[in-house]
Amino acid sequence: MRLLVTGGAGFIGANFVHSTVREYPDDAVTVIDALTYAGRRESLAAVEDSIRLVEGDICDAELVDNLVAESDAVIHFAAESHVDNALDNPEPFLHTNVIGTFTILEAVRRHGVRLHHISTDEVYGDLALDEPQRFTEATPYNPSSPYSATKAGSDMLVRAWVRSYGVRATISNCSNNYGPYQHIEKFIPRQITNILTGRRAKLYGTGHNVRDWIHVEDHNSAVRRILEKGQIGRTYLISSEGERDNLTVLRTLLRLMDRDPDDFDHVTDRVGHDLRYAIDPSTLYNELGWAPKHTDFEEGLRSTIEWYRNNESWWRPIKDAAEAQYEKRGQ
C-alpha cells in the first residue's frame, strides 16, 4: 500500500512509521508533518532512507491534494495533542484539528482514497471513579477541554463525510499512550526526564485521576488491524484495559528509578481536569480479533525509562524550555 501518514514525526505517528517499515516492507510511506514544537525529524532518523518526509501543514489544501492523489490510504495522526497547551491557547487546536481534518476529508473525497482517522477517548468526557459502565462506541460525546472539543469536532466531520459523500473512512478513539518518542510535556516522560535531570516529579492535584494506559505499539497494531479489516463508517475504541490513577503510576515510576515513592511535589491542578477515562474494547477484541501484546504495565514502564535513559540526545535539547513553560503555569 502507498500510505500517507499525517503527523508522522510526532509520538504515535513516528512509532507507526517505524513499525510499518519494520513489519510491512512492501508499503511505501510518505509522511506529511508541519514539524511543530511536537514533531521532530530526529524521531524518523532511523528510517529516513526508507520513507519520504514532506514538511508541510495539513491545512495546505494544494499540498494535501497532491499527496492524497498518489496514496492508497491516509492514516491521520496529525493534531495539536496537549490539553494544557489547549487551555493556554486553543487557536492552533481549531486550525489543525478541525480545519486540518476538513482539508484531509476534502482531498480523500475528491480522490476516493481510504482514510483512517485517529482520535481519543477524551471526546466522551470523564467518568466517576465508581462508574461500572466504561466508554463504548455508543457513549454520547461530552468533551471537556478545547483539545477534546476540537477532536470531537473532527470525528463528527469524518462521520458526516462518510454519510453525505460516501468517503471510505474509519475512526478509532484510543486511551492514553506511553512509550518511546513521547514529548516530554506529557505525564510519564515528564516525570522520567525530571528525575533524570535532578528535578522533582510533579503531580497535579491529588493524583486520584485515572487514565487507561496502553503501550503505543499496541495502539498502532490496532490501527493497522482496523485499516485492513475495519468496516467502513465504523468507530472502534482501542484500549488494553490499563486503568491506573496518576499517584500509583508516579509511585511506580519513582520505585523503578530507585527513588523514594514519596519524592514528588503536588502542583496546581489542571483546570477542568477530567477525573477518569476507561474504555471497553470488546468490539475490537471480538469483531477484529485484536489483542494487545504489552499487557505488563510495569515492564512497559521499565523499557520506556530505559529508552529515555539511552536517548538523552533526543529529549535533552527541549527539556529546559518545557519545564520553563510549566513553571509559568505553577505546574
Q: Enumerate the active-site residues.
A: 121-122, 147
In the list 71, 144, 246, 304, the residue contacting ligand DAU (rule: CB under 6 A) is: 246
Smallest gap, in angstroms, from Cβ of residue 270 to ligand DAU? 6
Is 186 a binder of ligand DAU (CB under 6 A)?
Answer: yes
Nearer Cβ to ligand NAD (78/301): 78
Residue type at position 308: Y
Residues 103-122 that bind ligand DAU (CB under 6 A): 120-122
Query: How far is Cα 225 from Cα 30, in angstroms, rounded to an integer?
Result: 20
Residues 39-78 that bind ligand DAU (CB under 6 A): none
In the list 211, 225, 251, 294, the residue contacting ligand DAU (rule: CB under 6 A) is: 211
CA-nearest of 213, 88, 80, 89 to 151 is: 80
CA dihedral 68, 150, 330, 243 (to 10 degrees): -90
Is 279 a binder of ligand DAU (CB under 6 A)?
Answer: no
Query: How far is Cα 244 from Cα 148, in angstroms, rounded to an integer?
Result: 21
Is 11 a binder of ligand DAU (CB under 6 A)?
Answer: no
In the list 81, 144, 172, 235, the residue contacting ligand DAU (rule: CB under 6 A) is: 81
CB atoms within 10 A of CB 191: 24
Distances (CA, A) of 139 to 206, 223, 273: 27, 20, 20
Distances (CA, A) of 28 to 49, 50, 115, 118: 12, 8, 16, 20
Determine contact, residues 262/132, Cβ cutoff 8 Å: no
Residues that bind ligand NAD (CB under 6 A): 7, 9-13, 32-36, 38-39, 57-59, 77-81, 96, 100, 118, 120, 151, 174, 176-177, 183
CA-nearest of 239, 226, 302, 301 to 276 is: 239
Smallest gap, in angstroms, from Cβ of residue 122 to ligand DAU? 5
Is 277 a binder of ligand DAU (CB under 6 A)?
Answer: yes
Site string for ligand DAU, 165-184 (x = CB under 6 A): ----------xx--------
Which three three-digit cell numbers place residue 298?
A: 510495569
Provide the 3-class DSSP secondary structure of residue 183. coil
Is 190 a binder of ligand DAU (CB under 6 A)?
Answer: yes
> Which helix H or strand E contains 111, and what residues bound it?
helix 101-111
Nearer Cβ to ligand NAD (69/166): 69
Which parts of this chain interact with ligand DAU (CB under 6 A)?
81-83, 120-122, 175-176, 186-187, 190, 202-204, 209, 211, 246, 270, 277
